[in-house]
Amino acid sequence: MKGKSPKESYTIMNELVLPNDTNTLNNLMGGRLLHWMDIAAAIAAQKHCNRIVVTASVDNVSFKHSIKLGDVITIEAKVSRAFNTSVEVRLDVWAENIPSGNRYKSNEAFYTFVALDQNNLTIPVPELIPETPDEIVLFEGALRRRQLRLILGGKMKPDDATELKALFFGENNG
């Protein structure tokens, strides 16, 4: 299976915040943004895997700035690392008030997807080959993020998280 670069999965999705997307303060509802982020991330994951994917996890999402009615949302997504049957996708969310020209970063997050075959069974995914310095940083941090997800999900014992232990205790201390 041929490896792919992050740019091959790069996805940009735009949405206009309409009244039905907002709460009583005319701010975009968080759940609506998470929904849009899931769609953009799934498209990026499918581009990388050339398969149907399902959401396996969503990392902590912090809402740095409220997004207002009438703002345009731009969600940028691309695969940051591929594992055996899963991929991690990095998302950056920008909001823009077009009349004022004010554009700001609202959110960032990591979503994880698992690739499925025609029988809904997990299937191996192509390797990711990072090319830029930023892609390399994201790629290298992905194993620590994965281990943390697995620990929090009860699928890994903290003692088995070698990358996380090295981060806190150094390479030779365990």
Q: What pLDDT score was predicted for residue 87?
A: 97
| Extended strands (E) in 18-101 | 52-58, 72-82, 86-97
Q: What's residue 77's pLDDT?
A: 98
pTM passes above 0.95: no
Return the ∠ at Cα 110 (arms to 162 and 148), rounded to 5°. 25
- Which domains occur in the chain, in start order? 6-130 (3.10.129.10)
Which residues, at least 6 apart from 167, have a Cβ–Cβ distance to it below 8 Å?
144
What are the pLDDT tens digits along the chain (174 aa)? 899 999 999 999 999 999 999 999 999 999 999 999 999 999 999 999 999 999 999 988 888 899 999 999 999 999 999 999 999 999 999 999 999 999 999 999 999 999 999 999 999 999 999 999 999 999 999 988 888 887 778 876 877 777 777 767 766 554
Estimate the crossing angle of helix 133-152 against helix 162-169, to 10 degrees: 110
pLDDT at 45: 98
pLDDT computed for residue 172 by the predictor: 54
